[in-house]
Structure 1
Amino acid sequence: MKQRVSTRTLVLVGPAICLLLAAVVSFWASGHPDGLEHVAETLGFADSAGEHGSDGSPFADYGTKGVDSGFVSGGVAGIVGVLLTGALMWLVLRLVVRRRD
């Protein structure tokens, strides 16, 4: 017989796992260029890229400004990213539920 997972457990454990992955596993992320950078290099226009709007932001380039340790810098940026994404998702879901009522 399959045991069901309660909504409360899912809501508590799911974000905890996401935060753990963002904080710890992000350190071992690939250092190779992402898909867009790879295509730009392959097609020969990677050098034409200029500054972008988020260059001076506290979490630019998958790190945290002012944190010297690469491990901690990436972990903090990952945690903040998960929290902001979760907050945005919660807000959208609240709006959808209100509209349906």
Structure 2
Amino acid sequence: MRKWSFVVGGLLVALLLAGVVSNFASPHPDGLDSSLREGCTLDTDGEITGGSCPAQQEQEHEIGGPLADYGIAGLDNEFLSTGLSGVLGVLLTFVLAGGAFRLVRRRDAAPETGGSRDADRPGTPATSQG
């Protein structure tokens, strides 16, 4: 029970951070964006107006998607769009990771009928009964 309360508590904290706190993240470019803009001239809105830098080659993603650009396509409320995309991202990650852990987790194919469980494991000496 303690394990599940830890997992649920962690999920709730992640949902809170993704749904609410993500809206207060800095709108300024992060380190990667800043380094890609080195050598370019920017206007007051942060748009490239001249110079030469790798950021001039950036394009919109060809595929797009419902959660592109940290928001939900079609929602006009930016606060709600960012929060919901964060919550959906956390839930999707939680479901996929949970499914992967379930697949990887070792389960016994059939219950043991008796004897030592270590006897069937490689690398452990079998005990003789006699």
Shorter-chain TM-score range: 0.7 to 0.9
The CA RMSD over aligned residues, in Å, is: 1.9
If asked which structure has higher relative contact order (CA below 8 Å, sep 6+), I would say 1
1:61-88 Cα deviation digits (max 9, x unpaired): 0011111111101000000100111111
Moved over 4 A (4+): none
- TM-score w.r.t. structure 2 length? 0.65
Q: Is the 8 A contact 1:54 1:60 kept in 2?
A: no
1:42-76 Cα deviation digits (max 9, x unpaired): 26110111232443x11110011111111101000
- TM-score w.r.t. structure 1 length? 0.82
**Number of residue pairs matched by the alignment:** 95
Q: Whose strand proportion is higher, 1 or 2?
A: 2
Structure 2 counterpart of 1:60, which letter?
A
Structure 2 counterpart of 1:69, which letter?
N
Q: Whose helix proportion is higher, 1 or 2?
A: 1
Highest CA radius of gyration, 1 or 2? Answer: 2
Gaps of 5+ in 1: none
Q: Specify the alignment match of 1:95 in structure 2.
A: 103
User: Which whole-Å CA distance do the structure 1 matches of 2:26 and 2:17 have between them?
Assistant: 14
Q: Specify the alignment match of 1:9 in structure 2.
A: 5
- Percent identity (aligned): 44
What is the deviation of 1:18? 0.8
User: Which whole-Å CA distance do the structure 1 matches of 2:30 and 2:63 have between them?
Assistant: 17
1:4-42 Cα deviation digits (max 9, x unpaired): x92121122110111111111011011011332222112
Gaps of 5+ in 2: 40-52, 109-130
Q: Specify the alignment match of 2:115 in structure 1.
A: none
